[in-house]
Amino acid sequence: MGISIWQLLIILAIVLVLFGAKRLKSVGSDLGSAIKGFKKAVSDEDEAAKQAAQAQEQAKLENTTQAGNVYDAKATEKTTAETTDNKPKA
């Protein structure tokens, strides 16, 4: 029980009579520009999020590298046997 093509044509004719062709043209162009603006805003936001993620990753890399050395940030607990074995012997 959908709307047939004839029913759509009748609705279009009524809308055309009520609003006029000029008004419908301006409404259509306004709607098109609003959709275009919305899409641009969404894509700009996505681009800004990508740039923020890249900047955060770059900052993380800069914090972990120093003078060409890379330091692992994972902390591990060593047993006393491991710490005594690594001491230089005199």
27-39 pLDDT tens trace: 888 889 999 999 9
Instruction: Say if residues 64 and 71 touch (Cβ distance below 8 Å).
Output: yes
- The residues near 70 (Cβ < 8 Å, ≥ 6 apart) are 64
Distance, CA of 41 to CA of 61 (rounded, Å): 30
pLDDT band per the 50, 70, 90 thresholds, residue 88: low
**What is the crossing angle of helices 5-19 and 21-64, to 10°?**
100
Check residue 48 and give its pLDDT: 85
pLDDT band at 3 (very low <50, low <70, confident <90, very high): confident
Confidence at residue 27, expressed as pLDDT on a 0 to 100 scale: 83
Q: What is the pLDDT of residue 65?
A: 53
Measured distance CA(7)–CA(13) in Å, rounded: 10
